[in-house]
Amino acid sequence: MVHDWQHRDNDLAVPREAVSPLNAILFGGCMLRQPLRVMATRQRGLADQKYGSDTAKHTFGEMFQFIEVLRGARRIPRELISLCRISPRVGPVAGAEDFRDLDVALIEPASPVELTFRGFAINRIGMKKMLAPIVAEGREAAKLSDAWLRVGLTGLNEDVRAAAAAKLLAHVHGDTERADLTRAVISETRALKSDITEGFRRIQEALGCPIGAVIYVFRYLSDGRPISWPAGFRNEVVAAAQELNLPIFDPAPLVAEHGVQGALAGDSQHYSARFLPVVGRALMAFAHEVHSGRPPDVVPRQ
């Protein structure tokens, strides 16, 4: 059974009893954060300014790293800020030691693969930006970059990673600090598969507030069916959330109901501007239901 608020737009309002916004933290990508950013200008249903969500967090490793920064337990070196995708303005925040004032957290893991460099969790968008000058050199450099990052690292193929890294180094030019860092990242970055159930469990322990799991969809087919990447990842997230009895928000039925052409942008990976408030209202309602402790009854679409 799917929550009624996922199907009737007129009913996707924040509960009337919510006088003040919930203090929230959002861990996920643009499919979680953008709809709620749109809603923030229209309804004060959630407030995430205190702890913020900074930029996209795609893996549990990135989420825990951000929590450590908020608690003052970790400092991101200046040269790694872009790779980690954490704003230099983010630092220790009073209350982060136990997050006692948090009302709710929405967690959207978008990848089961952790990228690590010298003990730091690296964000895949930050990595792509670092590789941009190499990709711009031409087709051969772009293919090597793709083989190293997508097939070797995120595909967990060590042979491909090592071979592509050796060739990719030839496309890093100069003896600047930035060039030296790029060479080090190409040579030393490694990938490992995370334990999704353990990730959710540790997030529960770290935040101590009601948590809702948001299902990440890599891409949609023309009929609205969701595509999982890597294969099986979507089902893995669903199984982990169900094992821990976490409420689950699945956007796929909402996208299918409104139609892919209207709901999605041209890349089939992001919501269209007119659909953002529709998803935002649904996520807002979901966050309030998670906070109220209602039992989950959303069955994600396979």
Enumerate the domain spans of the chain.
4-13+21-112+194-292, 123-192
Token pair, residue 297, equals 């009854």
| pLDDT for 87 | 85
Task: Tell me what pLDDT residue 130 has.
Answer: 95
Distance between CA atoms of residues 191 and 249, nearest Å = 28
Secondary structure E strands in 119-263: 120-122, 190-193, 211-214, 219-220, 226-227, 248-249
Q: Rounded distance, CA 149 to CA 185, Å?
A: 11
What is the residue whose two structure tokens read 């239901």?
289
Q: State which residues of the chain have pLDDT below 70.
A: 1-19, 41-44, 53-54, 294-302
Q: Give the per-residue pLDDT at 12.
A: 47
C-beta atoms surrounding 257 within 10 Å:
15
Q: According to the CATH classification, is domain 4-13+21-112+194-292 in 3.40.50.1110?
A: yes
Q: Are the CB atoms for 103 and 210 separated by under 8 Å?
A: yes
Q: What is the pLDDT of residue 39?
A: 80
pLDDT at residue 53, rounded to an integer = 66
Q: In this predicted structure, what is the pLDDT of residue 51?
A: 82
Structure confidence by residue, pLDDT tens digits, 33-90:
999 988 876 666 788 778 876 688 999 999 999 999 999 999 999 999 999 999 888 8
Strand 211-214 with 104-107, pairing: parallel
Contact 113, 194 (CB under 8 A): yes
Predicted confidence at residue 196, as pLDDT, reads 98
The answer to whether 29 and 272 have CB atoms below 8 angstroms apart is no
The sign of the CA dihedral 246, 203, 251, 156 is negative
Could you tell me the two tokens for 1? 């059974």
pLDDT for position 54? 65
Q: CB–CB of 122/189 below 8 Å?
A: yes
